[in-house]
Amino acid sequence: MSDVILVTGATGSVGSKVADALLALDAHVRLVVRDVEKTKKQYGDVKNLKVTQGDLDDPSSYTKSLSGVTRLFLVTAVSPNQKQQELAIVQQLCNQTSFKQVVKLSVLMLHRPHRMAM
């Protein structure tokens, strides 16, 4: 069985680039998005792509989308609910015996200018 890679944030800047790169490698990609029709228009008819509806603020809305997922690319918007969103999806996936890997992109506090001490 081929890996199924779930990408969150697939309509955003980073998530869309990740999904595009995975699809270019002929990976089996699943997206969880709020607006399925808009996303289907964005990606068109692409082999190995499945677009499913869900909202990270409502874990019950994407539970069916997680079936068979083996890897997760997790990027979420910075929000007061970010930690809960991330934990909920990872916990659900970890209950699947086929689940192997999480790649999490963190952008918290990225907007703050800082200087590294040398």
- What's residue 118's pLDDT? 46
The tokens for 1 are: 């069985």
In a domain, 46, yes or no: yes
Buried/exposed 39-68: b ≥16 CB within 10 Å, e otherwise: beeebeeeeebebbbbebeebeebeebbeb
Q: Count CB neighbours of 102 within 10 A.
A: 15
In a domain, 118, yes or no: no
- What's residue 96's pLDDT? 87
In a domain, 117, yes or no: no
- What's residue 79's pLDDT? 83
Ranges under pLDDT 50 in the chain: 118
The CATH number given to whatever domain includes residue 84 is 3.40.50.720
- What's residue 49's pLDDT? 98
In a domain, 110, yes or no: no
In a domain, 48, yes or no: yes
Dump the DSSP string for 77-118: --STTHHHHHHHHHHHHHTSTT--EEEE---TTTTS------
In a domain, 112, yes or no: no
- What's residue 106's pLDDT? 78
In a domain, 116, yes or no: no
Residue 59: give the domain boundaries: 4-104
Domains contained in the chain, number: 1
In a domain, 47, yes or no: yes
